[in-house]
Amino acid sequence: MRPMVLGLPRYTPWAGLVLLLVALTGCATGPSASPRDPLEPFNRGVYQFNDAVDVAIIKPVATAYQDVLPAPVRRGVRNFFANLQDAWSGVNNALQFKVEPAANSFVRFGVNTFIGLGGILDVASEMRIERHTKDFGHTLGYWGVAPGPYLVLPLLGPSTLRDTVALPVDAQGNMVSGIEHIPTRNSVTLLRLVDTRASLLGASAMLESVALDKYTFTRDAYLQRRRSSIYDGNPPDDGEVEKSPVKQDFSQARERTRAWVQTLKKSGTADDEKAKP
Amino acid sequence: MKRRSFSHLFAALVVSAVGVLAMPAHATEETADAFIKRLSTEVLNSIKADKSIQSGDVSKIVALVDTLVMPNVDFKRMTASAVGPKWRQATPEQQQRLQEEFKILLVRTYAGALSQVNSVTFNVKPMRSGPDDKEVVVRTEIQGRGDPIQLDYRLEKTPGVGSGWKVYNLNVLGVWLVDTYRSQFAQEINAKGIDGLIATLAERNKANAQKG
């Protein structure tokens, strides 16, 4: 008999990991602890493990991939995966009620799938249709779910508790997991990993030379970047009152409407005065 | 109403154009976004004009940064902010060394990106700030191949000094530069003191120079 946990057998490894991490939260504090990184000792361990695997296997494979395959082929691979992401971004933009970005994402997916040979050519970018990449962690963050502690995941790298919880949903959303033929699915997943790592070769070389401590640099840059993109590049400043992105959007919209109504009123009275003899 | 707002826009355009043209005479009247636009154009043009900079010649890049960029940057404030509260305990000599080493580290960071400037254009986004604001954020976007790159600046008003504005923080893709170094610097200072941080920076710069 197959054990059923919460009726979601596919999610059990994730649920287990999350529970483990929540349990660890209580007991670990680092020497110069950052409040956003209470699990620092644990995270540093995973970071070192990832780094070792990267040096031994992933980076050499990605480097070979970059050296052997001609640039147009690699660009085709990158476009193909980006196109799948566009469809999922469309869903997440829609879940955040962002109408134009959602429409753009779906149009991009349609154009690239049907005109761009299944996503290998990025015709939509040539047509200047903007890309708005969003995943399910963004969506949770947009509706006010706090990121929680910083986490370094085995092989997957920097994340937060919220984004880790969102991962299984993202995995369902990207169409690769829908491939029934398992060897094909595994090869496609592997190709995606190698492609991602190859695209980061330049960035990781830069990290080597500019970071005093690669772990801290990666963490601080990742958390800032993630926060900024959840706020669509417009996060509140340190001094300001922290609002969730949806509340910020709402109050900005309200202010804009108020200003608009006021200009309408003003121009109305001005025109009235002019109309007087 | 429509016509009026259009004429407002036109007036604003004329004023900003006059502001840029009359720059040397009325330097302090330049707006922050016009200042960023002028500075970026100057830097971009001098990079485009010099092949050795595009190929990553660091000494040339440092010279360019010193002549064009540094006079418009409050680098002391940037370094102080990255170092944090311990900055006040540093001697003037230590502060000087910190600024010097930090600058070289940062120039390295961006030297690699300069080879790609030939194909880029940038645009300054509309600014939301009052005329009396002492500190403002100017948002720009670099459009090259691929997705646009967000590049924002924090500026402080420096009436009567230089162009009237100085940059004190820089944001690439949502990441503020100074903030990214704050924890790393604090880590070093907690472990080895200010001289330890200076030594680590100097060592890193030396290692980077050997890598070429």
| pLDDT tens sequence across B163-211 | 789 999 988 888 898 999 999 999 999 999 999 999 999 999 998 888 7
Is B175 in Cβ contact with A224 (below 8 Å)?
yes
When comparing pLDDT for B128 and B164, which is higher? B164
Read off the tokens for B69.
């960029």
Of the candidate ranges A11-25, A146-160, A192-206, B62-76, the one whose mean pLDDT is the lowest = A11-25
Q: How far is it, in rounded angstroms, from Cα B181 to Cα B109? A: 13
Of the candidate ranges A57-61, A190-194, B147-151, the one whose mean pLDDT is the lowest = B147-151
Q: Supply the pLDDT for residue B48.
A: 83
Q: Which residues pair with B121 in a beta bridge?
A: B143
Please check the confidence at residue B8 and state whether its pLDDT lies above 70.
no
Q: Is A78 on the interface with B (CB under 8 A)?
A: no
Sign of CA dihedral A175, A179, A180, A185: negative
Q: Is B204 on the interface with A (CB under 8 A)?
A: yes
Q: Supply the pLDDT for residue A5.
A: 39
Q: Supply the pLDDT for residue A21.
A: 56
A residues 250-269 closer than 8 Å to B (CB): 263, 267
- How far the first Cα of chain A sits from its last, in Å, is 91
Q: Supply the pLDDT for residue A26.
A: 46
Q: Supply the pLDDT for residue B97.
A: 95
Please check the confidence at residue A277 and state whether its pLDDT lies above 90.
no
Question: H-type helices in B22-56, by residue range?
Answer: 32-48, 51-54
B37-82 per-position pLDDT tens digit: 998 888 888 888 888 877 777 788 888 888 888 889 999 999 999 9
Cβ-Cβ contacts under 8 Å, B207 against chain A:
209
Cβ-Cβ contacts under 8 Å, B183 against chain A:
32, 34, 216, 219-220
Q: Is B188 on the interface with A (CB under 8 A)?
A: yes
The pLDDT of B2-6, averaged and rounded, is 50
Q: Is B149 on the interface with A (CB under 8 A)?
A: no
Cβ-Cβ contacts under 8 Å, B190 against chain A:
31-32
Q: Supply the pLDDT for residue B20.
A: 46
Of the candidate ranges A91-105, A241-255, B17-31, the one whose mean pLDDT is the lowest = B17-31
DSSP H or E stretch at residue A277: none
pLDDT bucket at A139, cuts 50 / 70 / 90:
very high
pLDDT bucket at A14, cuts 50 / 70 / 90:
low
The pLDDT of A233-246, averaged and rounded, is 79
For residue A129, what are the CA distances in angstroms to A76, A244, B58?
Answer: 18, 28, 37
Percentage of chain A with pLDDT > 70? 84
ipTM, 2 dp: 0.76
The pLDDT of A155-182, averaged and rounded, is 88
The pLDDT of A159-173, averaged and rounded, is 92
Please check the confidence at residue A261 and state whether its pLDDT lies above 50.
yes
Q: How far is it, in rounded angstroms, from Cα B198 to Cα B94? A: 8
Interaxial angle between packed helices B177-211 and B75-83, expressed in degrees from 0 to 180 and rounded to the nearest 10: 100
Choose the closest CB to B184 out of A213, A224, A263. Answer: A213
pLDDT bucket at A9, cuts 50 / 70 / 90:
very low
Beta strands B135-143 and B149-157: pairing type?
A: antiparallel
Is A216 in Cβ contact with B204 (below 8 Å)?
no
pLDDT bucket at B145, cuts 50 / 70 / 90:
low
Answer whether B122's CB lies under 8 Å from B40's CB.
yes
DSSP H or E stretch at residue A77: helix A71-95
Is B1 in Cβ contact with A217 (below 8 Å)?
no
Q: How near does any CA of chain A get to the CA of B211, in Å?
A: 9
pLDDT bucket at B26, cuts 50 / 70 / 90:
very low
Q: Which residue of B has its CA nearest to A220?
A: B180
A30-70 per-position pLDDT tens digit: 445 688 999 999 999 999 999 999 999 999 999 999 999 99
Q: How far is it, in rounded angstroms, from Cα A174 to Cα A189? A: 11
Residue with tokens 């476009």: A79
- Of the candidates A40, A29, A3, A18, the one whose C-alpha atom is nearest the C-alpha of residue A216 is A40
Q: Is B45 on the interface with A (CB under 8 A)?
A: no
Q: Supply the pLDDT for residue A111.
A: 95
Please check the confidence at residue A29 and state whether its pLDDT lies above 50.
no
Q: Which residues pair with B167 in a beta bridge?
A: B73, B155
User: Three-state SS string across B51-98, please?
Assistant: HHHHCCCHHHHHHHHHHHHHHHECHHHHHHHHHHHHHHHCCHHHHHHH
Sign of CA dihedral A105, B121, B56, B209: negative
pLDDT bucket at A1, cuts 50 / 70 / 90:
very low
A65-122 per-position pLDDT tens digit: 999 999 999 999 999 999 999 999 999 999 999 999 999 999 999 999 999 999 999 9
